[in-house]
Structures are given as structure tokens and as C-alpha cells.
Chain A
Amino acid sequence: MKKNHVAILIGLAMLGLAGFAPAAHAAATTDSANGMGHMKMPMTEEAANLEPTRQAFTADHRFLVELLSLPTPIPLAQYFQLRFAVYDGHDPARRITDATLKIVAGMRHGQKHGFAHGMQSSPRVEVSDGVFTVSGMYFHMRGPWALEITVQQGDKRGTAAFDLPCCGQ
């Protein structure tokens, strides 16, 4: 009898203690969730699984633009370079060397058209042996960046879209 009473008392005591546990857990959950059920995933995490675009056709398939090199990872708040090659979109084995390249970059932040903001730099493009080197790229914010690369060859022009994740640790 006595042993059983002790066991029951221990059990009740445990239940009594555990009775507080849901309250403590609820408090911890509130602390953790922070009442942020209405909030989306942070922008800084969106770039984590994003692979950089390696090649893209211009909208009319007139040109194929290939990203030859980029720093891995792209550094935050530091100038960096990108290198591109351009090919005939209808004959991708034929490299185009007499075109000009214009690059515009920004972050869309969910916008379908245009950028929420651009880069705080004006990159320069130099061409040598058919390789277009873009210097002065500068990503000041973590998250997915979008590039619009416009190829101009004579009177032909097309724009290709690239996505690049920013940035390393």
C-alpha cells in the first residue's frame, strides 16, 4: 500500500510538473515564432539554393550568351568581374566577336517587371578575343540578383536574362 501510494504520488507530481510544460512550450513557441506567421521567408535565404544562370538565349533566340566565369562565391560589397561569350542563337557553334554588350543588374524583390533597385555601380565592358569582360560589378545586398544583358550586333539586338546568387559568407 505504502509503495503504491508513493508511486502514485510521484506520478501525480510528475504530471503536475508536466502540466507546466505545455505552458512553457507555448511560451517558447511564441518566442520562436515571434508572431511572424504573416511574414515570408527572408530575402537573404532565397539566394541560398539559387544556381547561377550559365547560358541564356536572348528573347528572340537571335543570340546565345554564355557566362564563362564568375567568382565563387560572389563577394558581398566588393567589385568583381564576369566574363561572357556570345554565339549565334541559330548556330550556337558560331561565336560572335563583333558585338557590343550592355549589362544592367538589380534585384527584383518579387517584382515581375523591372528592378526594385539597381547596382550602386556602373560596370564597364571590354572585349578581347571574343571574350566580353565586365568589370565593376558590385552586389551590396544578399539575395538573388538579376542581370539583363543586351547584345547589339549591327542593327540586331537582343536581351538575355541571367540570375546570380549573392553572396558568400
Chain B
Amino acid sequence: MGMMVEPRRGRTAVIIGAGAILFLLVFAGGALATENSPLFSAAELAEIFRHSPLGPLPSEPTNRVADDPRAAKLGQFLFFDRRFSANGRISCATCHQPEKAFADGRKLAVGLAVGSRNSPTVLDTAYQQWFFLDGRADSQWSQALQPLENPHEAGTDRLHVAHLLADDPALRRAYRQLFGPLPPLADFQRFPAHARPDADPHRPVARAWAGMTSADRIAVNRVYSNFGKAIAAYERRLVNRPAPFDRYVAALKSGQPAAAHALSPAARRGLKLFVGAGNCVLCHPGPTFSDNQFHNVGLPLLPNTPVDTGRAGGIRAVQADPFNATGEYSDQRTGAVSDHLAYLPSPQSQLGAFKTPSLRNVALTAPYMHDGRFATLEQVMDFYARGKAASRGRLVGVREATVDLVPPLSAQDQADLIAFLQTLTSPALPRELTEPPAAP
């Protein structure tokens, strides 16, 4: 009997063992597969791959010194130089502090006075088409000019800038090497100490500007535009280094098995949501995580704040800007560089719209939105998670229905998205790019 039973028990044991192995292969195999890439669909992977790496800088034909190292050095010196302000205490670095990812950490920018908008980072702006949150400048160099004469920011004027360049021997030498000789600025009859165009024609600076000859105004504008072009040559080098997300994508592309562990599970879930069902990529596509366009997301007007027309005002301003890409101070005025001005949309259609910010380093650039109303990324997520309810109140313009494509976000979804956004933080730039050089 025992002899008969023994073989059956043996076969049973083998069957159990084989079944267990099969079971393990089916289920545990599935679990192992998720360690690689099946977390993402093919479409999601394609979208992820579009977001990294940052890639080469686009050409900048409107600034002939954009890639000249001498211009970058001069521009870096000027970026930190506080003399180019009305009170001698404000520079570009006041609102674009290297240790704060080239933003300032404030709700609203503070120069000579408190401004009305949050300071965006300068990092990666070389990849942008429009500058300022309302796109009122169309190049890095023309952007760099406006804060100098803004009464809330540096509050100075272009004649003061030109005289400083002429009076400082090192600056004058550096300028001459790049752009040729300065006009005869020592002649104060022709070139007053302070002058600029101004909305109020009765201001002394405006009267002084009006008193200059057309040729001399053009000569000063040329110097002023060159000042901006040097700063832009420096800013063009302020490009984010690869972030953990970039390393993750590189590993995914190369099929490295370790890729799955380069981001936390929460960050991976957030990434999947970001490129997939969350529809975040509609406005934050590509390596800069921005479409470089303008959207009205339905932020209600805050109490006791003036109406900000956003892009509507920006369109009118960039069209009128003598330093725009088609103006006489641009180094290439025609061709593809002028298309963006030729086909501008109607200002009315862009009322209350603001530029989509890049999300690289977003964890370092609080507070958020054009007016810095949200102190944390959690508050930003809450705004989008609440949908239309978050837009109750007085709106400027019309809320874009694209926002409704963001699905309801659970607390877990929001936490996952934030975990993903934190993987976009790049290491700090080297000191040679974040400190003023000893000489221009």
C-alpha cells in the first residue's frame, strides 16, 4: 500500500511544484516588468522623450555678439553692476539672484519700488521666443533694456547708461572691442547726463531726450541696445545643467534596467500623470516644459490689486518697441525672425493671458503665478485640482477652457506631481557663471 501511495505523492508534489513555478512566472514576472518601462504607454514614453535633453541653443541672429565670449564677459560684469540704477543699489542680480535659481524668492519684484509681477528666472531664457510674463519683448537683449528705465526697477535712463560706459576706462575698452567707438558723449550739449523717452513729455528726462537731434538719439539707442546685447550674451550661457529627470530619460532611452530606480515611485507616478492623463503637457511641452505661449488660466483678480491685462498689453508694447526684432537696432530684421511680429494675434484675444513658465527648477522658484499669489507648489496644485471653482470672482479676460482638461486630481495625484516636479531641479551653475568677473 505504502509502495503504491509513495509514487502518487511524488507526482503530486512535482505537479504542485511545477504549478507554483508557473504561477510565479506569470505574476512575479509582471511585477519585474514594471521595474523597466511598462509603467508608461508608448505614447507616454514618446512624450517623455520629447522633454529631454534640453538640446543645443537656438541661434540668435538679432544679436551678432550673442555667442561672443568677450560679450558674455562684459555682460556678466554689467549684470551685477549696481551703478546702472538711479540709486546705485540695484542691478539685474537684484531680481535674478544666482543663489535663488536666478529669481528672487519674493511675491512681487522689488527695485526702487514694489512691482506688480513676480520675477521670473533668467535660466534657459535663451530658448524662449517671448520675454517678460506678458511677452512685451522678443529677444533677450531687448528684454534686458526695459528694467533699466522702469521707475519701479532700476529707474535710470539710457543717457546715464551711455555715460557710465564712456567714463569707466575698463568698460569703455571692452565696449569698443566689441562694438566700436562710442559717440562723443563728453559733449553734454549734445548728450545730456540724463535723458530718455518717457510717457510724460514734461518730465526733465523726456524734455532732455526731445531736445537731442534725431541722429544723436539713434546713436545713444545704438549704445543702449549694445548694452543689452552684451547682457544677453551672458544670459545665453545661463542654461540649466541636467536634472535627475534628464538622467532618468537618458537611462530610459538607452534601455538601462536601473532607469526605474532613478526616480522615486511617487515621481514616476507623477511623471506618468504629467505626460498622460493629466494633460499638463498641453501647455508644458518639450525640454523647457513650456509652450512659450500665453494662457488665461482664470486667476481671479485679487482684492486691492489693479487690473493686469497681461499679454494684451504685451502685444501692443512689443509692436511699439523700437528695439524689437524688426527694429533698426536688430542685427537681422527680416526673414523668419520677423514672423512672430507679422502674425501677432489681436490683443483683445489675449486679455489676462500670461506666459507659460518653464518648470525646470520650479521647486526653487516659489512663489508662483504672474503675481506670486501662491507660496507653494501645493497651492498651485490645489488651484488646478479645484477646476472652475478656483476661478470664481472677477476675471480679467476669458478663462481658457484648456484648464478644464486637467482632470480631478486626488491628494495622491497632487503629491505625485510635486514629487515629479522636484526631479526637475538642476545643480547650481559653476561660480564662474554666478559671480561678477573681476573686470569686464
Contact = CB atoms under 8 A, between A and B. Distances in A.
Interface of A: 1, 3-5, 7-8, 10-15, 17-18, 20-22, 24-25, 27-28, 31-32, 34-36, 38-45, 48, 76-77, 79, 107, 109, 111, 116-124, 135-136, 138, 140-143, 169
B27 A24 contact: yes
B17 A142 contact: no
Summarize B's interface: helix, strand, loop or mixed.
helix
B141 to A, nearest CB: 22
B207 to A, nearest CB: 38
A28 to B, nearest CB: 4
Contact of B343 (A21, A79, A109, A140): A79
B30 A28 contact: yes
A50 to B, nearest CB: 14
Contact of B401 (A1, A12, A34, A109): A109
Contacts of A138: 343
Nearest to A8: B13
B413 to A, nearest CB: 7
B410 interface: yes
Contacts of A109: 401-402, 404-405
Contacts of B293: 77, 120, 140
B281 A15 contact: no
B428 interface: no
B22 to A, nearest CB: 9
A123 B344 CA distance: 9
A166 to B, nearest CB: 11
B405 A140 contact: no
Interface of B: 6, 9-10, 13-14, 16-21, 23-24, 26-28, 30-31, 33-34, 38-39, 43-44, 46-47, 50, 265, 268-269, 272-273, 275-279, 281-283, 285, 291-295, 336, 339, 342-346, 349-350, 400-402, 404-405, 407-408, 410, 412-413, 416
A141 B283 contact: yes
B31 A21 contact: yes
Contacts of A18: 20, 23-24, 27-28
Contacts of A32: 34, 38-39, 272
B43 A44 contact: yes
A117 B400 contact: yes
A122 B345 CA distance: 5
Contacts of A35: 410, 412-413
Given A32-B34, A136-B339, A48 B405 contact: no
A141 B336 CA distance: 20
Nearest to A76: B285
A21 B282 contact: no
- The listed residue with most B CB atoms (<10 A of its CB), out of A11, A12, A24, is A11
Contact of A142 (B268, B285, B292, B343): B285
Contacts of A77: 291-293
B28 A11 contact: no
A25 B265 CA distance: 14
18 contacts: A3-B10, A7-B17, A11-B14, A11-B16, A12-B16, A15-B20, A34-B269, A38-B407, A39-B278, A107-B402, A116-B400, A116-B402, A118-B349, A121-B343, A121-B344, A140-B292, A143-B282, A169-B46
Contacts of A27: 31
B6 A11 contact: no
B407 A39 contact: yes
B401 A124 contact: no
Given A14-B20, A76-B285, A120-B345, A25 B30 contact: yes
Contacts of A42: 43-44, 275-279, 281
Nearest to B277: A39
B23 A4 contact: no
Contacts of B294: 120
Contacts of B28: 17-18, 20-21, 24-25
| Cβ-closest 5 pairs across A and B | A14-B20, A21-B27, A11-B17, A116-B401, A39-B277
Contacts of B43: 42, 44-45, 48
A5 B16 CA distance: 12
Contacts of B38: 32
Given A35-B412, A36-B407, A40-B407, 6 more contacts: A21-B31, A28-B33, A34-B416, A36-B273, A117-B401, A140-B292
A1 B6 contact: yes
A1 B272 CA distance: 53
A12 B14 CA distance: 11
A141 B34 contact: no
A17 B272 CA distance: 30
B248 to A, nearest CB: 15
A148 to B, nearest CB: 15
Contact of A24 (B18, B31, B345): B31
A123 B277 contact: no
A45 B285 CA distance: 14
A140 B31 contact: no
A4 B13 contact: yes
Nearest to B16: A11
B412 A25 contact: no
Nearest to A20: B28
A122 B27 contact: no
Contacts of B339: 79, 136
Contact of B279 (A1, A7, A43, A121): A43
